[in-house]
Amino acid sequence: MVSAKQTDDWDPRGPGALADPTQAYDAMRGTCPVAHSEYLGWSVFRHSDVVAVVEDHASYSSRVSARHPAVPNGYDPPQHGRYRDLVDHYFHPDDVNTFEPLFSSIASELAAELPGDGSEIEFIDRFALTYALQTQRAWLGWPDYFAVALREWVTRQHSATLSGDRQALADVARDFDGVVSRVLAEWRARPSPADDITSRLLREQIDGVPLSDDEIVSILRNWTVGELATMSASVGILVDYLARHPQLQERLRHAPEDLPAAIDEILRIHAPLSSNRRVTTRAVELGGRYIDAGERITISWASANRDEAVFGDPDEYRPHENAPHNLLYGRGIHDCPGAPLARLELRVAIAELLAATRQIALSLDTPPVVAAYPASGFRTLPVHIFR
Ligand code: HEM
């Protein structure tokens, strides 16, 4: 076992990593696959090490914050299993798929509003984020004012994250919980019980005990703000990739049945969710490094999904060959329960965009701006749409 001094092996907030995170992860995987930094603790870059971490939840706990318990992602067995069973009920593909017509109409309306004369538009704000907001709101059955509050929240969260201002981040989180509490109060005041997702959640019990408000708010925080950034980043990444690969774009325009596999593969090449966290419960050895108990671990999905040892050339588009190893929706007991909903939302968005356009091209004048870690994808993505 090699004993590691906890000096910094890399700087995840350095100019190189911020400007081109994918390149930084590719380099780290080759030179220092388990790397320490003050900011992220131990970052794990290789596919095999990431799988080893997520499949050993006894040594790598998800209880990363005592102050902000997250339901169910911050729980370990046996508590995790009880909450996870509850959450899984909301994402059964048969139920999720009933939302397809609603999501299609949201996407087709937004696509129809984009100017189709080839003028430059900023795609993230105009489509990706708006679509993510509208579909989550529709899925939960929440009122319009929530989409407005959520958009404002996303902007404030972004600037607070960039500035690293902990107080601002705490204020943003508190304000968000206030909005959710307002929605819950509104729901509880309704005269007759309904069968929408929020009403069902309010009736849930674990071992005969109703969920507490803190638990409900935490679940809803995860289903809204937790996933909004990932969904919006995914739509931006997909459009950027298709604009850079016009032949694939054209092929998929005429073969929408190939979209599910194509979407998973593009998001393997360019991850919408950079990482998740764990904490060691005992001393471990990982990738030749000795790590004490109680240390922070950052599992880099973005790097693991580009590991040459598993995928060969990470940029080669091979949807069917790579699918079995793709970690886009995680692995192990915490793998993504929302995957059926995410896959539906993404397929519908891209299908409607391709159907409504003749060509989507990147701007030649204005380069995209990469989102700053921990966000992924693009902060802004200027494109031209031709009908
Ligand atoms: C493209 C979009 C998405 C991606 C790439 C994604 C990816 C992931 C990944 C990698 C994990 C595992 C985290 C870990 O091991 O720590 C996860 C967990 C989770 N995801 Fe997603 N997700 C997406 C969308 C969604 C959506 C739309 C929802 C719900 C509305 C959702 C709900 C959850 C929940 C509740 C967990 C925690 C599960 C647990 O701890 O048992 N996700 N997701």
The DSSP-derived string for 142-197 is --HHHHHHHHHHHHHHHHHHHHT-HHHHHHHHHHHHHHHHHHHHHHHT-SS---SH
Ligand 1 surroundings by CB, under 6 angstroms: 54, 72-73, 84, 87, 222-223, 227, 230-231, 234, 272-273, 276, 301, 328-330, 334-338, 341-342
- How many domains, in total, are found in the chain? 1
User: Is-contact 323 264, C-beta < 8 A?
Assistant: yes
Query: Over the stretch 299-309, which tens digit does the pLDDT of each residue have?
Result: 999 999 999 99
In the reported structure, the alpha carbon of residue 134 is separated from the centroid of ligand 1 by a whole-number distance in angstroms of: 19
Q: Please report the pLDDT score of residue 222 as a whole number.
A: 87
In the reported structure, the alpha carbon of residue 312 is separated from the centroid of ligand 1 by a whole-number distance in angstroms of: 26
Banded pLDDT at 174 (limits 50, 70, 90): confident
H or E segment and range at residue 43: strand 41-44
Ligand 1 atom 17 nearest Cα: 336
Report which ligand 1 atom has the smallest distance to the Cα of 234. 1
Q: Please report the pLDDT score of residue 106 as a whole number.
A: 97
Residue 107: domain span: 15-386
CATH number, domain of 147, equals 1.10.630.10
Banded pLDDT at 173 (limits 50, 70, 90): confident
Q: Please report the pLDDT score of residue 3 as a whole number.
A: 45
In the reported structure, the alpha carbon of residue 338 is separated from the centroid of ligand 1 by a whole-number distance in angstroms of: 6
| Cβ density class 18-49: b for 16+ within 10 Å, e for less | eeebbebbbbbbeebbbbbbebbbbbbbbbeb
In the reported structure, the alpha carbon of residue 378 is separated from the centroid of ligand 1 by a whole-number distance in angstroms of: 20
User: Is-contact 287 385, C-beta < 8 A?
Assistant: no
Residue 6: inside a domain, yes or no?
A: no
Between these two residues, 162 and 279, which has the higher pLDDT value? Answer: 279
Ligand 1 atom 37 nearest Cα: 73
- The pLDDT mean for the chain works out to 93
Residue 5: inside a domain, yes or no?
A: no
Residue 212: inside a domain, yes or no?
A: yes
Ligand 1 atom 31 nearest Cα: 338
Residue 8: inside a domain, yes or no?
A: no
Q: Please report the pLDDT score of residue 190 as a whole number.
A: 86
- Whether pLDDT at 4 is above 80: no
Residue 4: inside a domain, yes or no?
A: no
- Whether pLDDT at 2 is above 50: no
Query: Over the stretch 86-97, which tens digit does the pLDDT of each residue have?
Result: 999 999 999 999
Average pLDDT over every residue of 47-57: 98
Between these two residues, 299 and 178, which has the higher pLDDT value? Answer: 299
Q: Is the alpha carbon torsion for 44, 48, 54, 60 positive or negative?
A: negative
Average pLDDT over every residue of 276-281: 97
Distance CA(148)–CA(380), nearest Å, equals: 20
Q: Please report the pLDDT score of residue 57 as a whole number.
A: 96
Q: Please report the pLDDT score of residue 298 as a whole number.
A: 98
Banded pLDDT at 182 (limits 50, 70, 90): confident
Q: Please report the pLDDT score of residue 271 as a whole number.
A: 98
Average pLDDT over every residue of 221-234: 89
Residue 2: inside a domain, yes or no?
A: no
Query: Over the stretch 344-379, which tens digit does the pLDDT of each residue have?
Result: 999 999 999 999 999 999 999 999 999 988 889 999
Average pLDDT over every residue of 139-145: 85
Q: Please report the pLDDT score of residue 372 as a whole number.
A: 87
Query: Over the stretch 186-213, which tens digit does the pLDDT of each residue have?
Result: 888 988 778 889 899 999 999 899 999 8
Q: Is the alpha carbon torsion for 149, 155, 161, 164 positive or negative?
A: negative
Q: Please report the pLDDT score of residue 264 as a whole number.
A: 98
- Whether pLDDT at 325 is above 50: yes
Report which ligand 1 atom has the smallest distance to the Cα of 330. 10
- Whether pLDDT at 1 is above 60: no
